[in-house]
Structure 1
Amino acid sequence: MIDYLISFFGIFSSTQNQLLIMFASAFLSATILPGNSEITFTAFASQLLMNESLAFSREIITLLFIATLGNSLGSLTTYFMAKLIPPPHLTEKSKPSVKWALFYSQKYGVWVLLFSWLPIVGDLFCGIAGWLRFNVLQTVCLISLGKAIRYLILLWSINAFLS
């Protein structure tokens, strides 16, 4: 039994496996499924920061890139799925968060996607962007930029805490 547990937890020590786990967690976090990519990113980045003397080593930048890529692709999945579905007709019974996200998406346009990393409304922003047929290139750029900024702030806070 102990050999099994050691081999199971050994999966998480391999750098390649950590990147695969990070990608899967980030992708799932950006869809409707729960993934908690921030916890995964914090665990892996903390491990790397404790072993490295530089805050931006090659391994940290790779982890940051993989997390951003997975999270961005998850949000783009929501965007493209919503693009296939006609926009819902809002009624008085519609959830307030949907009304709020639609209002700000119509008011600020594609720029609202910089906040696609926010809990609950971030997924709505991506879905509404698909419904409203926002420009695909701008959507990709702003979602990716917002996700990267979020992980950079998280990395900065981890580094500040560990220093």
Structure 2
Amino acid sequence: MQLETFGMAGLFISAFISSTIAPGGSEAVLAYLVNSRQHAVEQLVMVATVGNTLGALTTWWLGMWAAKKYPAETLLTGKQRKSLRTVRQWGSWALLFSWLPVVGDGLCFAAGWLRLSLFSSILAIFFGKALRYIAVAYAFI
């Protein structure tokens, strides 16, 4: 495998893991790859955004699955209840902030729990995460 391909694959994996309930540092990987100048910035941003969006959709799916198995809201923690209220109030628009550390995972989980439209969830998650990665990438050019 070429070093360039490994860099892109590593960015994708880092972005995916960073967007699930596991902590990660995809911004640092993106910054490193932007500084290495081996790839087009737009390509790096797209790979990171897609990986991070797919990770967030995994959390969304977990929320949907949890709602089927445990429909009672009383089972949720305080943070999860707050996320649920926020997503109920704002709908898919709340997912524009899915890039936020800790809070973003709760928003995605709540959106799945509430069974928000998958299509509108994908769009909001993707757009929010893309803006974040664009800002990070251009900060390191």
Identity %: 35
Gap regions ≥5 residues in structure 1: 1-10, 52-57
1:104-132 superposed Cα distances (whole Å, 9 cap, x missing partner): 11111110000000000100110110000
Q: Report what 1:32 is aligned to.
A: 21
TM-superposed CA distance for 1:155, in Å, is 1.5
Q: Report what 1:146 is aligned to.
A: 128
In the alignment, residue 142 of structure 1 is paired with which amino acid? A
Q: Report what 2:62 is aligned to.
A: 81
Q: Report what 2:112 is aligned to.
A: 130
CA RMSD of aligned residues (A): 2.0
The equivalences for 1:48-87 within 5 A come to 48=37, 59-86=40-67
Q: Report what 2:36 is aligned to.
A: 47
Moved over 3 A (4+): 87-91, 93-96
1:7-33 superposed Cα distances (whole Å, 9 cap, x missing partner): xxxx8x811110000000000000011
Q: Report what 1:121 is aligned to.
A: 103
Q: Report what 2:92 is aligned to.
A: 110
In the alignment, residue 30 of structure 2 is paired with which amino acid? F
TM-superposed CA distance for 1:34, in Å, is 2.0
TM-superposed CA distance for 1:136, in Å, is 0.7
**2 CA distance for matches of 1:73 and 1:114?**
15
In the alignment, residue 156 of structure 1 is paired with which amino acid? Y
- The answer to whether structure 1 residue 97 and structure 2 residue 86 are counterparts is no
Give the TM-score of the pair, scaled to structure 2.
Answer: 0.89
Give the TM-score of the pair, scaled to structure 1.
Answer: 0.78
**SS in structure 2 opposite 1:44?**
helix
Q: Report what 2:11 is aligned to.
A: 22
Gap regions ≥5 residues in structure 2: none
Bigger Rg, structure 1 or 2: 1
In the alignment, residue 114 of structure 2 is paired with which amino acid? L
